Amino acid sequence: MLKQKKEQLIEELTKSLSRCTIAIATDYRGLTAKEMLQLRRRLTAMGIEYKVIKNTLTRFAADKADKKQLEPLLTGPVAIAFGYDDVLKPAQVLREHIRADGSVLQIKGGILGDKLLTPEDVVALATMPSREVLIARLMGQLQAPLQALHNVLSAPLRGFLNVIQARAKHLEGG
């Protein structure tokens, strides 16, 4: 590979590492070309980049991008999924691909911000509910005490209303 081409690849990878919110390293050994194409299409449809790059070039880019935590994952054939928006999407898509297709793809780990993730951490991220679901649960938890207070305060009025309605019905001859 020409030196200029290598430098260009390192620059592109440095930009990807700097911009990404999460990077997940995978071992793609044993994947057929067809499976790799399907995986790339799934990831691309979700706005996730999936790159196979030489480990030495990735190390240089990780140093430049200040993501040295990635280096322990760079052994053997490695492909990296870069997620830019939602942290959960890349982990969920990779896990779903492995489960649904019975793929031999293995998750080696990843980096989230400055933190190194183990394969178990990545799987835990994949099983988390989405941001919207978590916000809805939080809102429900915040509303629960107010709803309970409303029920407690309105119970005497409901009881009084029931007594008045029963009395009115009794006076009407019912």
What CATH number does residue 49 fall under?
3.30.70.1730
Q: Is residue 93 located within the same domain as residue 145?
A: no
The stretches in the chain having pLDDT less than 50 are none
**Beta pairing partners, 23:** 82, 111
Q: What is the pLDDT of residue 174?
A: 60
For residue 1, what pLDDT is reported? 61
pLDDT of residue 98: 87
* Number of domains within the chain: 2
- Residue 132 has a pLDDT of 85
Residue span of the structural domain in which 135 resides:
130-174
Do 116 and 136 lie in a common domain?
A: no
Statement to judge: residues 107 and 168 lie in one domain: no
Residues 88 and 100 in one domain: yes
pLDDT reported for residue 146: 87
Shared domain check, 155 and 103 = no
d(CA 82, CA 91): 10
Q: How far apart are CA 121 and CA 65, in angstroms?
A: 23
* In a shared domain, residues 66 and 18: yes
**29 and 69 assigned to the same domain:** yes
pTM, entire model:
0.73
What would the 3-class secondary structure string for the chain be? CCHHHHHHHHHHHHHHHHHCCEEEEEECCCCCHHHHHHHHHHHHHCCCEEEECCHHHHHHHHHHCCCHHHHHHCCCCCEEEEECCCCHHHHHHHHHHHHHHCCCCEEEEEEECCEEECHHHHHHHHHCCCHHHHHHHHHHHHHHHHHHHHHHHHHHHHHHHHHHHHHHHHHCCC
